[in-house]
Amino acid sequence: MGVLYDKLVGLDEISSRESVITVKLCGKTDEAEIYVENCRKVLSCDNEFITLGVCGADIKISGTPLMLENFGVGGVKITGKIASVDFSDNNSKGSVNK
């Protein structure tokens, strides 16, 4: 159809296949920031657990207090004292060890 259309289709295909998670520790405090790129949806969210849907997997973040600070086209930003990050294959019931 056109060059722009082809590029947009290519970006959509990439975002449906991969996701990047960045964890940033904030100085001497226990606070951390997690950035999840290409997040498809927020499955659940409260002060202790946030579950995100990404391509082919679910990411469960636990900690206190967790805050979902930004959810936009590029991804999601979560801050708080992070206790754990678990990955599970959303195509089956088992966990994925990473």
Q: Check pLDDT > 60 for residue 15.
A: no
Q: If residue 89 lies in a helix (H) or strand (E), which one and from where to where?
A: strand 75-89
- How many structural domains comprise the chain? 1
Q: Is residue 34 part of a domain?
A: yes
Q: Is residue 95 part of a domain?
A: no
In this prediction, residue 98 has a pLDDT band, given cuts at 50, 70 and 90, of very low
Query: What gap in Å lies between CA 77 and CA 21, rounded to an integer?
Result: 10
CA distances from residue 32 to 16, 28, 52, 73, 92 in whole angstroms, order as listed: 26, 10, 17, 22, 30
Task: Kindly report the CATH number assigned to the domain that includes residue 77.
Answer: 2.60.40.2000
**Structure confidence by residue, pLDDT tens digits, 26-77:** 776 778 999 998 888 899 999 999 999 888 889 999 998 999 988 877 789 9
Q: If residue 74 lies in a helix (H) or strand (E), which one and from where to where?
A: none
CA 64 distance to own-chain centroid? 17
Q: Report the pLDDT value the prediction gives residue 85, as an integer from 0 to 100.
A: 92
Q: Domain of 31? A: 3-89
Query: What gap in Å lies between CA 30 and CA 14, rounded to an integer?
Result: 34
